[in-house]
Amino acid sequence: MRIITKRTGAAAIIIATASMTAGCGGHGPNSYLMPKDAVVAKLEGAEREFLFADRDERTVRAIRRSGDTLKVQINYANSSVSSQTCEARVEAIDEEWSRVTPVCPEGENATDNLQSELNEMQIDEFVIAVLYNKPIDASMVFKRTSAVAIDNIGDITKEIHEEVQASENQTARAAAGWDSGDASGSDWGN
């Protein structure tokens, strides 16, 4: 009888993970068993609609192509978020495999960066839907959105805390008469 120790257990996990990755071609996330030109051809002009959380209608469409990069637009019908345009960059891994990397512009703050990550995730799901000829899996978008939001909550909380601190400091300075906003009334140097 063989006793499984932490070391052999860890080795088993590593071997299982490696074999699962090898079963998927070993090419990592966003990789597809399809030549690059076929991926670009399928994505070009593609469009998918889905309902997020049973109320927010969204449309994802590839609107323009420049070489192996497609501009992808996400339209939010029932949301305060405006339409967003990102890129889906397609690259050949080898003759049979391709990778599609969504890239959305980062913003100036944590909330904008969260939206950028959410858009990239939605483009991931759009690519899967188009390449496998199926609708976007709205439940998967919801699950992934939750995970991205939880992952970013620390940065957003920190940013809000810093804004509140800055506001409190400004209010305290104004109350003490140090920040009237008008330098002409200053008696500095008089």
Is 175 within a domain?
no
Which tens digits make up the pLDDT trace of 10-25? 444 444 444 343 434 5
Of 190 and 114, which is predicted with more confidence? Answer: 114
Is 138 within a domain?
yes
Q: What is the mean pLDDT of residues 74-82?
A: 83
Is 189 within a domain?
no
Q: Is pLDDT above 80 for 89?
A: yes
Q: What is the CATH number of the domain that holds 100?
A: 3.30.530
| Percent share of the chain, pLDDT over 70 | 79
Q: What is the mean pLDDT of residues 1-12?
A: 46
Which tens digits make up the pLDDT trace of 103-160? 999 888 888 888 899 999 999 999 999 999 999 999 999 999 888 888 888 888 888 8
Rounded to 10 degrees, the C-alpha dihedral 90/96/97/98 comes to 0
Is 187 within a domain?
no
Residues spanned by the domain of 32:
27-155
Domain count, the chain: 1
Query: 91 by DSSP, 3-state: which?
Result: strand
Q: Can you read off the two tokens belonging to residue 92? A: 């050949």
Is 61 within a domain?
yes
